[in-house]
Amino acid sequence: MSRRADQLLLTAVRRGGAPVGFLAATSLLLAGVYLALPAVMGRALDAVLGGHDAALWVSLAAVSIALLVVCDAADDYIGAVANARSIAWLRRTLLRQVLALGTRAARRFGAGDLVSRLVGNTARTGSAPSGLVWALTELVPPSAVSSRWR
């Protein structure tokens, strides 16, 4: 990929705005809950089957599951908001570029080609904010598990 394309992707991520930071926070929290949930569920099951007082562990399991649901929903919503901001910026930028070219230069491209780039390609490129955050946070669970086994 060219340096200009890399710069465009980074700018698209920045144009996602503040939601990108919230997305990173909810994604990290979600990864933490995914890591903790099996241990909490195991402790709750051990307490129930062992005849011990299981109220604490069952409560923690319920809170973990509720947190998982809330974080997952927030993660999806905030990711969509960040992507929408990025896509809107990309479309405005591309449309300004096309209009600045004028009709003579724009004739080199077919109308369908320009519309395809304006609608489809910007949507794919505009998903860079959530894609970057989710790619980085997907590394958390394997990293935590592999560091535990050292």
pLDDT the model gives residue 1:
57
Determine whether 143 is exposed, middle or buried from the number of CB atoms within 10 Å of its CB (0-12, 13-18, 19+). exposed
Rounded CA-CA distance 28/65 in Å is 16
Least Cα distance to 27 among 61, 77, 64 occurs for 77
pTM of the model: 0.77
- Alpha-carbon torsion, ordered 55, 59, 60, 62, to 10 deg: 140
Tell me which of 145 and 148 has the higher pLDDT: 145
pLDDT band (50, 70, 90) for residue 145: low
pLDDT the model gives residue 148:
55
Q: What is the DSSP string of 71-138?
A: HHHHHHHHHHHHHHHHHHHHHHHHHHHHHHHHHHHHTTS-HHHHHHIIIIIHHHHTTHHHHHHHHHHT
Q: What percent of the chain has pLDDT over 70?
A: 94
Tokens standing for residue 57: 């562990």
- pLDDT surpassing 90 at residue 73: yes
pLDDT in tens, 14-66: 888 888 889 999 999 999 898 899 999 999 999 999 988 889 999 999 999 99
